[in-house]
Amino acid sequence: MAQVEATTERIIAAQPEGVFDALADYSGTRAKILSEHFSEYEVREGGDGEGTLVHWKLQATSKRIRDCLLEVTEPTDGELVEKDRNSSMVTTWRVTPGGEGASRVVVTTVWDGAGGIGGFFEKTFAPKGLGRIYDAVLDKLAAEVEK
């Protein structure tokens, strides 16, 4: 099993604190910025950053739907980590200054991929697909915080 990694980033014209607060707002903003690939969104505990437990289904392809139950931590300033209780998937959101009045948002997801030929295709194509999904989320995040 090889580790699979997908990374997407964007410069957003808003202060880092506001961008981070929007990402950490699982009971409000986060549900609004998810793309059509996410369904059955539900905050089960908390709702604001550290200590949140959130559920959703992520439909990466027409046949691949992942049932996610994510524990949220904030290991450092400007960083949210979402660990899936149902798999090896971990998504890390990092918000740092991106120039005057702007933020750089980097989202990285890693998981243990399949072995064999299936793992080869997963490692080759899954990062591109997940990148497109997170591009859509970052578009919506930018629209939300750049108001």
User: pLDDT (tens digit, 9 = 90+) per residue, 91-144?
Assistant: 999 999 999 999 999 999 998 877 777 666 666 677 788 899 999 999 999 999
Q: Find the mean pLDDT for residues 15-39.
A: 97
Residues 6+ apart with CB under 8 A from 96: 16, 78, 103, 104, 106
- Who contacts 141 (Cβ-Cβ below 8 Å, separation ≥6)? 10, 12, 19, 22, 23, 33, 105
Q: What's the pLDDT tens digit per position in 59-83?
A: 987 788 999 999 999 999 999 999 9
CB 105 within 8 A of CB 94: yes
Range list of H helices, 10-85: 16-24, 29-33
pTM: 0.91
Mean pLDDT on 50-66: 91
pLDDT recorded at residue 1 = 60
